[in-house]
Amino acid sequence: MYDLAILGAGPAGYVCAIRAAQLGFNVVLIDKRPELGGTCLNVGCIPSKALLESSHHYHMAKHGLGAHGIKVQGAELDLPAMLGRKDGVVKQLTGGIGMLMKKNKITVKTGWGKLLAAGKVEVENANGREVVEATHIVIAAGSTPIELPFAKFDHTTILDSTDCLSLPAVPKHLAVIGAGVIGLEMGSIWARLGAKVTVLDVADRPVAIMDEDLGKEAQKLFTKQGMEFQLGAKVSAVEATQAGVKISFTNSRGEGQTLAADNVLVAVGRKAATAGMGLAEAGVKLTERGVIETDAHYQTNLPNVYAIGDCIAGPMLAHKGEEEGVALAEMLAGQRGHVNYNAIPWVVYTHPELAGVGLTEAEANAKYGPVKVGKFKFAANGRAIAVDATEGFVKVIAHPATDELLGVHIIGHNASEMIGEAACLIEFKASAEDLARCVHAHPTLSEAVKEAALASQGRALHA
């Protein structure tokens, strides 16, 4: 009998396991994969970042070093080696989670987990079935790619994001349906390695979830890098052909068009991975889309059955799941666990990167009336010029009356690292003036964040 059984060893599940073990719970962590870390470590965040980095180096060696006075001849792609490095990174990190489980004395079971009833879980693997009993059960089942009904994944021509991490060769022409986070990251990887990339999206700009200015700037910059966009495009059919795929769509002017490509990546979002876990049968309330319904304490409608991460409402982000794991473990231990959903950063790890936290300008205007906005371009930042990273800008949004920092949005080199200070300041309810008065080291890209805050006060120094 365990105190806590957790179904799913992704960032939500394994972090919940560690925090619960730290708080004195006897924990069992169950996952279908022997390698821990879920989608994020095995086929998501980590391998994609490894390939984004490697493909960026290749692109720089081929096209980007001349400006620095470095001539490179004969730079060649060794795709198997690049993919091998990515696999090595994944192995190192999933192995690391295994060590953390041992260190925290967490029992790990490999197999398909099913909820039988409150307090009872079944684990099935090649050795048979076992019933595990626990006082509390946590479902942290994650998510899987959404499949379009007219474009079923065949994993050779019609691809999901996992397939795109291990293509055996660089496609001549990769089509991508969905200009969201995955579409832009995967599109960037293969475009840098030499593929022609065409991205189709029903929305009028890429990453429509982020601040509008970021999406528009991203479209401009990625078009300059060679990516083609078909926005406002309604895809109606995807056919596998002898030569690859044929995509039929209606473009933004209402004209019917077709696009031929070698492969197509379908990246139109992800859905809660709750099928086949016996949840509905055990009486757990799910939405029509299979999302587990929880209250503010991550409790489902069944006593002592909880859910966290991608399989409940909210953004499907590893760090959101991790924080929910920590908060839940602390609540179960009688502490005051809490997640501030207004301070969850978003990052797209392209080059340049996109990052945002808090409200977009449109959301802030809708909530508080005309808000204060300050913008600062990296083209006016000394470090950005020195390192040849002048694309993009920082945008700071502040409350019109109180000056509370409501949102910070960055498109630029290393935006993923710069967004951290904005998330902390929003968490601490800082004002834009607080940010403007914080000393930032010179010369750094983060001075642009300070300058954008100054601009929101009408007093940028370098613009």
What is the three-class DSSP state of 301? Answer: coil
- Nearest by Cα to 12 from 119, 104, 110, 138: 138
The stretch among 66-74, 301-309, 312-320, 378-386 that binds ligand NAI (CB under 6 A) is 312-320
Task: Decide whether 11 or 119 has the Cβ nearer to ligand NAI.
Answer: 11
Task: Decide whether 123 or 354 has the Cβ nearer to ligand NAI.
Answer: 354
DSSP secondary structure letter of residue 365: H
Please tell me which residue in 155, 338, 442, 462 is annotated as part of the active site. 442
Task: Decide whether 270 or 440 has the Cβ nearer to ligand NAI.
Answer: 270
The stretch among 27-35, 64-72, 310-318, 376-384 that binds ligand NAI (CB under 6 A) is 310-318
- Site residues for ligand NAI, window 156-215 (CB under 6 A)? 177-183, 185, 200-203, 208
Instruction: Kindly report the three-state secondary structure assignment for every residue of 134-160.
Output: EEEEEECCCEEECCECCECCCCCCEEC
Distance CA 5, CA 109 (A): 10
CB of 201 to ligand NAI, least distance (A): 4
CB of 214 to ligand NAI, least distance (A): 13
Per-residue x/- marks for ligand NAI, 317-336, CB under 6 A?
x-------------------
Distance CA 221, CA 351 (A): 9
The stretch among 120-128, 342-350, 385-393, 419-427 that binds ligand NAI (CB under 6 A) is 342-350
Task: Decide whether 119 or 180 has the Cβ nearer to ligand NAI.
Answer: 180
Q: Which residue has the tokens 């909530």?
A: 367
- Site residues for ligand NAI, window 68-127 (CB under 6 A)? none
Q: Can you list the alpha helix ranges (DSSP code H) found in 60-203?
A: 79-103, 181-192
The stretch among 86-94, 212-220, 300-308, 345-353 that binds ligand NAI (CB under 6 A) is 345-353
Residue nearest to ligand NAI as judged by C-beta position: 180
Distance CA 295, CA 178 (A): 31
Cβ 110 vs Cβ 126: under 8 Å = no
Distance CA 393, CA 344 (A): 20
**Total site size for ligand NAI, rule CB under 6 A:** 25
Distance CA 169, CA 82 (A): 11
Task: Decide whether 208 or 343 has the Cβ nearer to ligand NAI.
Answer: 208
Question: What is Dmax (Cα atoms) for the chain?
Answer: 68
Q: Which residue has the tokens 């694309």?
A: 391
Q: Choose, by CB under 6 A, the member of 34, 226, 256, 315 that binds ligand NAI.
A: 315
CB of 454 to ligand NAI, least distance (A): 29
Catalytic residue check, 442: yes
Cα 325 from chain centroid (whole Å): 17
CB of 257 to ligand NAI, least distance (A): 13
Cβ 395 vs Cβ 375: under 8 Å = yes
- Backbone phi and psi for residue 241, each to the nearest 5 degrees, phi listed first: -120, 175
- Site residues for ligand NAI, window 235-294 (CB under 6 A)? 235, 267-270
What is the three-class DSSP state of 236? Answer: strand
Cβ 277 vs Cβ 259: under 8 Å = no
Task: Decide whether 44 or 113 has the Cβ nearer to ligand NAI.
Answer: 44
Q: Can you list the alpha helix ranges (DSSP code H) found in 369-457?
A: 382-387, 415-427, 432-437, 447-456
CB of 211 to ligand NAI, least distance (A): 14
Task: Decide whether 314 or 443 has the Cβ nearer to ligand NAI.
Answer: 314
CB of 440 to ligand NAI, least distance (A): 25
CB of 203 to ligand NAI, least distance (A): 4
Task: Decide whether 235 or 453 has the Cβ nearer to ligand NAI.
Answer: 235
- Nearest by Cα to 251 from 181, 201, 314, 194: 201
Report, as residue numbers or ranges, the catalytic residues: 442
Which residues contribute to the site for ligand NAI (CB under 6 A)? 148, 177-183, 185, 200-203, 208, 235, 267-270, 315-317, 347-349
